[in-house]
Amino acid sequence: MTRSPHFTEPAKKHLGQHFLHERRIIDKIVQAVNPQPGDRLVEIGPGQGAITFPLLDRHGELTVIEFDRDLIFPLTEAARAHGALEVIHRDVLDVDFGALAADGPIRLVGNLPYNLSTPILFHALGHAAAIRDMHFMLQKEVVERMAAAPGGKVYGRLSVMLQAYCRVTPLFDVPPGAFRPPPKVDSAVVRLVPRPAREVGIDDAALFAALVRDAFGQRRKTLRNALSKLCGAGAIEAAGVRPDARAEQLEVADFVRLANRLAAHASTTR
């Protein structure tokens, strides 16, 4: 993709900007999203429009969330030749995805800034009921953590939280040279599809989040010690989990079962 004459601002390092430019990768992302008539597409961090304009060409309309004021005018001007673009000038962490989904679930797309990727992922999780699916480009190491299985060093809080609420599917890797300026790490594109509430099966979302946070807070600790503020060894055993196990040894289902047992016990003692 050639550089648009509308864009003169260089990437801003403090915003974690790396602008995608390789057409082959852009086409693969648009193909993975595969927008259909009636879809409500929302792109996070459109930058210079590398994904924005092909999506507009394919779909005709798109909402984008952009924090960098200097990109708003050139995006709006360049979009006129491609379709109807709605620009929300705001920090994505302050955007209510539920409000954007007033007419139906939204589909999120984005080349996420590496320095904010995890907060954005957790923000999206908080609005999972309003989201149909997500296609994000992230640092490859983050995607590996998102999709990791129990027992490995990269399996952690992010793995459990995302897999509990979403089906996580890594799609393809993206080399540094696909960006301007090139980052110092490889990237990857991942698809997340929120699970229906009945499939998630978590009775108390706040308690579940606290349990997972504490369990991985100090990875070397056994669950007996790591979860001492939330429960005792007896409660852990009652959920069919070994108190001397460490967090990375547990399946996502084990965390759900333990959290639900704690929630049930709490409700009976109120």
Do 109 and 145 lie in one domain? The reply is: yes
Residues 6 or more apart whose Cβ sits within 8 Å of residue 152: 248
45 known ligand binder: yes
Do 38 and 157 lie in one domain? The reply is: yes
pTM, whole model, 2 decimals?
A: 0.91
Do 19 and 68 lie in one domain? The reply is: yes
Domain boundary among 198, 231, 260: 198
- Would you state the structure tokens that stand for residue 237, as one six-digit string? 């055993």
Do 70 and 54 lie in one domain? The reply is: yes
Determine if residue 45 is left, alpha or beta; phi over 0 gives left, psi from -120 to 50 gives alpha, anything else beta: left
Question: How many separate domains does the chain show?
Answer: 2
Cα separation of 261 and 241, whole Å?
A: 11
Q: How confident is the model at residue 270, as a pLDDT? A: 54
66 known ligand binder: yes
Domain that holds residue 165: 13-198
Q: How confident is the model at residue 202, as a pLDDT? A: 97
Q: Which residue has the higher pLDDT, 13 or 259?
A: 259
Do 187 and 235 lie in one domain? The reply is: no
Inform me whether the pLDDT recorded for 195 exceeds 80. yes
Residues 6 or more apart whose Cβ sits within 8 Å of residue 93: 116, 119, 120, 123
59 known ligand binder: no
Instruction: Please state, rounded to an integer, the average pLDDT across all residues of the chain.
Output: 91
Q: How confident is the model at residue 35, as a pLDDT? A: 97
Inform me whether the pLDDT recorded for 36 exceeds 50. yes
43 known ligand binder: no
First CA to last CA distance, the chain: 61
Residues 6 or more apart whose Cβ sits within 8 Å of residue 49: 4, 7, 75, 78, 79
Inform me whether the pLDDT recorded for 7 exceeds 50. no
> In which band, very low, low, confident or very high, does the pLDDT at 14 lie, cut at 50, 70 and 90?
very low
Rg over CA atoms, the chain: 20
115 known ligand binder: no
Alpha helices (runs of H) in 80-173, residue ranges in sequence order: 97-100, 117-125, 140-147, 157-165
> Is residue 105 a part of any domain in this protein?
yes
Do 122 and 218 lie in one domain? The reply is: no
Q: How confident is the model at residue 123, as a pLDDT? A: 97
Q: How confident is the model at residue 16, as a pLDDT? A: 44
Do 66 and 189 lie in one domain? The reply is: yes
Do 191 and 219 lie in one domain? The reply is: no
What CATH number has the domain bearing residue 249? Answer: 1.10.8.100
Domain boundary among 170, 198, 226: 198
Do 88 and 145 lie in one domain? The reply is: yes
Q: How confident is the model at residue 6, as a pLDDT? A: 60
Alpha-carbon distance values, 128 to 4, 69, 165 (Å): 34, 28, 8
